[in-house]
Amino acid sequence: MKKNKNKTLNKVFNNDAREILKFLGSDIKIKTTITSPPYFDMKDYGSENQVGYGQTYELYLQDLKSIFESIYSITDNDGSLWVIIDTFKRDNQVVTLPFDLSNKLKESGWLLQDIIIWKKDKTVPWSTKGFMQRKFEYILFFTKSNEFKYNKDRVRNFDTSQLKRWWVKYPERYNPKGKALDEIWEFPIPVQGSWGDQYVRHFCPLPKEMVATMIEISTDKEDLVLDPFAGSGSVLFQSSIMQRNYVGFELNIEYINMFEDYIKKMHSKLKKEHSKIIDNSDQTLFEKRILELRALKFGRILVNKIEENFEIEAKVYVTIRKFLTEKTKLLEVDYELLMSENIELNTFLNDILIKPPFSKFGITAKIKFKNNQELKRGKYYGYTKTNSYAYSSLPIESSKIKVISKICVNLKESDYE
Ligand SMILES: C[S@@+](CC[C@H](N)C(=O)[O-])C[C@H]1O[C@@H](n2cnc3c(N)ncnc32)[C@H](O)[C@@H]1O
């Protein structure tokens, strides 16, 4: 855990969130706030002055508004706010708390960027007349300005067991860093053991993977994360193991004591576990594989187009020259056609390469002609006219082999159905 050089960092204040500005100096800059406010008056968290319990709805909303207004004033210009909140039923009618609160926060300057659904796998097993079984809560994502931090590439899905066939068959259609998150987040409610022994018995902490996703999107290392209604401290704990600074407010001292005890016992173990999960070498490998598949598929289409339009047999030798980082330019690739140069073919290629499908690949292609079909010594892999996803052990001379390369991609589409 970080040494607390600044006395307001990495601690939980046993104070009222309505007094945040009294305890956090105006020089403090919050990068993101992640919080689940107290449920209106449905739950007694066991302390005086709590927001929600025993209040009227109007007063409750007003308190939340003024707390988030204070937070706005000490949030960095590229900062944000995540509020996990739900509707509820009163006097036989749904109270639209997420939307009522959003309207209040908009008045304070917060910009509502997104509404995400947190789909929980299980909740209370009952429903009532006119109210289905509850399965989700809302996550409201606000920002202070339009120049907000948003590291969306860090939370892409590149788990190939979940991505099925598209990534092998259509590598040109999707982001090589993985599939973007959608607006429905499925995270089970923590059960005993997922936050470590003893911990969840007393609380309803948020799922750590969900909190980690928010932290990853909206902050970098050393940034400051706030939870004004810290409860069990799940937001603060996750921030700490992700090497962010944190600050929290919580009225119930027992919760704070438990959090401090928990962080002492579990910090280094869970930090180690987390650093294993976020090891981004898997994403780098995924990206490389997608780009290799693109380079090969481009070559395959090139051969197909030539053979469809000219009465010649074509083969192409593919070499990736450079991996680039621009949005629409991802690769520089040499395509050496194993045939003699031909003006008509050249004109044809110049015309088709600037149009789809070729223009969709993010590939800057250099077409060359290699009259002498001899390839330099070395190990090559051959790909057929229809498949760029399985290299063949057939000799390069085989007429079935149309794409030749040192790139080795041995993936069968049928394995990813
Ligand atoms: C829904 S819980 C937060 C749960 C938390 N996200 C977690 O993961 O455990 C709301 C918390 O806000 C606290 N609280 C209520 N009123 C408060 C106030 N005025 N200032 C600070 N904390 C307050 C309650 O004691 C309770 O722990």
Three-class SS state of 35:
strand
Beta bridge partners of residue 323, listed in sequence order: 331
pLDDT confidence of 344, banded at 50, 70, 90? very high
Tokens read off for 325: 């980082």
Question: Could you tell me the pLDDT band of residue 133, with boundaries at 50, 70 and 90?
Answer: confident
CATH of domain 11-149+183-279: 3.40.50.150
The pLDDT of residue 91 is above 80: yes
The confidence score (pLDDT) of residue 385 equals 83
Confidence category of residue 269, pLDDT binned at 50, 70, 90? confident
Residue 28 pLDDT grade (very low, low, confident, very high; cuts 50, 70, 90): very high
Q: Is the pLDDT of residue 39 over 90?
A: no
Ligand 1 pocket member 17 (CB < 6 A): yes
Q: With a 6 A CB cut-off, is 384 part of the ligand 1 pocket?
A: no
CA-closest candidate to residue 286, choices 413, 171, 118? 171
pLDDT higher than 90, residue 256: yes
Percent of the chain with pLDDT over 70: 91
Q: What is the mean pLDDT of the chain?
A: 88
Of 121-135, 248-262, 305-319, which range is least confident?
121-135
Write down the pLDDT at residue 123.
66
130, 135, 142: which is closest to 120 by C-alpha?
135
Pocket lining: 50 vs ligand 1, CB cutoff 6 Å = yes
Question: For residues 149 and 127, which has the higher predicted lDDT (pLDDT)?
Answer: 149
Which ligand 1 atom lies nearest to the CA of residue 63? 19
Atom 12 in ligand 1: which residue has the minimum CA distance? Answer: 229
Ligand 1 atom with least separation from CA of 16? 20
Q: Which of 197, 374, 268, 263 is nearest to 10 (CA)?
A: 263
The answer on pLDDT for 397 being more than 70 is: yes
In this prediction, residue 325 carries a pLDDT of: 80
Mean pLDDT of 49-71: 93
CA distance 287 to 284: 5
Beta-bridge partner residues of 117: 138, 184
- Do residues 291 and 363 lie in contact, with contact meaning Cβ atoms separated by under 8 Å? no
Report which ligand 1 atom has the smallest distance to the Cα of 17. 20
pLDDT interval class at 113 (50, 70, 90) = very high
Give residue 68's identity as a one-letter amino acid code.
F
Q: How confident is the model at residue 99 (pLDDT cuts 50, 70, 90)?
A: very high
- Residue 229 phi/psi, 5-degree rounding, is -125, 75
Going from the Cα of 182 to the center of ligand 1, the distance in angstroms, rounded, reads: 28
Report the nearest-CA residue for atom 8 of ligand 1.
Answer: 205
CA quadruple 329, 334, 338, 344: dihedral, nearest 10:
50
Q: What are phi and psi of 273, to 5 degrees?
A: -60, -45
User: Which residue has its alpha carbon closest to ligand 1 atom 25?
Assistant: 45
Residue 157 near residue 178, CB atoms below 8 Å: yes
pLDDT at 128: 78
- Token pair of 70 as six digits: 């204070």
Q: Are 9 and 58 in contact (CB under 8 A)?
A: no
Instruction: Name the residue of 50, 61, 249, 259 to mutate for ligand 1: max ligand atoms within 8 A of Cβ.
Output: 50
Domain ranges of the chain: 11-149+183-279, 282-416
